[in-house]
Amino acid sequence: MGKQGCVYLIGAGPGDIGLLTLKGYTYLQRADVVLYDRLVNPLLLEWAPPQAEFIYCGKMPKKHILRQEAINDLLVQHGLEGKNVVRLKGGDPSVFGRVGEEVEVLKNAGVAYEIVPGITAGIGAAAYADVPVTHREHSHSFAVITGHDKSPSGEPLIDWQALAKGIDTIAFYMGLANLPYIADQLISHGRSSETPVLLIQWGTTGKQRTLQGSLATIVERAKAEQFKNPAIILVGEVSKLKKGESWFESQPLFSQHLLLGRTNEEPSEIGEHLRDKGAEVFEFPRMQVKKYRLTEANMATDRDLLFLSPASVEVFFESLQRNKIDIRTIQGNLYGLSKKTIMALEAYHCRAEEIADRTSNDSRLLIFGDTSWADLEEERERFALEHDFIITHAYDRVHQTEHTFSRLRDEERIDTIIFPNARSVETVTAGLQACGESPSVISRHARVICFGGKSKQAATNAGYSVHTVLARPSEDALFEELLKKEAPHAVVLS
């Protein structure tokens, strides 16, 4: 009997990748196939396994990339093939996510499934705008309503009388096209024309915009500000609780969409810190390690050893075990190029120091690193003029990262490119070219920031127009530079 497949119908939340549930994250990391919708943040795709297949099921008003029937067929097909299938939906799958239809099809086909709830946009977007949907003084009831339906006009056919008079806070989903109709129906069925209204566009993302008004004024204001879907229409007294910028909108790097050049498989601390300050960060391209097999001849035990990355540490100790070499035979000192590498060595219960602290050059140094260091003899000689270099691993680009880039580009969610070093220019450029993008085109629409002269020279040689070179090659200097200029919202990369 073959492996039984399962379809996981997962709510991805309203946009902020941090709002995906732990259970959803766990299943996404095991996925063989991911079918995802337009309102799913493309950055979530970076958490899927490198071999996962991505299928875009984007839906826009009157324009479907895949019709629901085709999506249903794909879920059944892959489930019957014994695969772990993740159906990733914006918000909560049970709130206007058509999960009921998909479940019925899976049941009829005998395919196992599981529903993983998510944070729905009406609650998540409101919270990121500083508005609670219930409040002891303003709202004792809350309803979510579709802003359009299957009626010939697309205007929601609901009990307007009960809604207007019986519900304190109402969240209309994807209803901006019907905003005049919605406002008219609520007023004509007894809701005061002065009832506060809050529009939240692209809630919980760096593209979040809000607009306040009343049932009497919101239509003209939305038209003047060119508000469009995806958006939530929040009607009720709680809407007036928003005063100025919300906690989310007041983050120092809010609205900035950064592409941070990546050279290895590990997410960077800089990227994490930028996210903590409110930026959306895409570390590109995603990489995976291809480990080399070290022989006993590669592992001299009488020299000082320098490891250039945590991955080189891992390969070395795996090779020790495979070659049955007792760690106690290592007589030299152990050094790491970075704090992360030192920590990797300490995880194997070894005492290690940073290479900058090495005071003795009496012994020939044995250096372990990835293929990118093979041609950098001058760089290696900074550590020791007399040394041998052993290649422990290579980094291969995960091709799904190109899919993530394409979706972010199409959604105008890349406005700044950051090159921390010259090597990042090489890896990013190779990734862009795989996506059909060129350095000259992308740097006409996104500012390019380089950490120093070497990265600037590499970027210029590759065809980028460099906008800024940091005064100091540091995270603090980068933060200061990003604070100088608010990244643009509307950027078309190609």
Catalytic residue IDs: 37, 59, 174
CA distances from 34 to 27, 48, 252, 442, 453 (A): 10, 8, 34, 28, 41
Q: The sheet that has 169-173: what strands, in order across it?
A: 142-146, 169-173, 231-235, 196-201, 209-214
Strand partners, 336: 307, 354
Return the exposure string of 299-330: e unless at least 16 CB atoms fall within 10 Å of the residue's CB, then b: bebebbbbbbbbbbbbbbbebbeeeebeeeeb
Q: Which of 44, 91, 65 is nearest to 200 (CA)?
A: 91
- What are 54's strand-pairing partners? 34
The helix/strand/coil state of 333 is coil
Chain centre to alpha carbon of residue 421? 22
240: amino acid identity, one letter: K
Written as one string, the DSSP assignment of 233-281 is EEESGGGGG--SS-TTTTSTTTT-EEEEE--SSSPPHHHHHHHHTT-EE
Counted residue by residue, the chain has a size of 494
Angle at 265 between CA 259 and CA 267, to 5 degrees: 50
Q: Are strands 196-201 and 231-235 parallel, antiparallel or unpaired?
A: antiparallel
Query: Chain centroid to CA 416: how far?
Result: 15
Amino acid at 146: T
Task: Annotate 36-59 with b (16+ C-beta within 10 A) or e (fewer).
Answer: bbbbbbbbbbbbbeeebebbbbeb
Per DSSP, what are the bridge partners of residue 145? 172
Written as six digits, the tokens of 240 are: 């007036």
**Amino acid (1-letter code) at residue 232:** I
Query: Are the CB atoms for 114 and 23 separated by under 8 Å?
Result: no
Q: Sheet holding 84-89: strands in order across?
A: 53-56, 33-36, 84-89, 6-11, 112-116
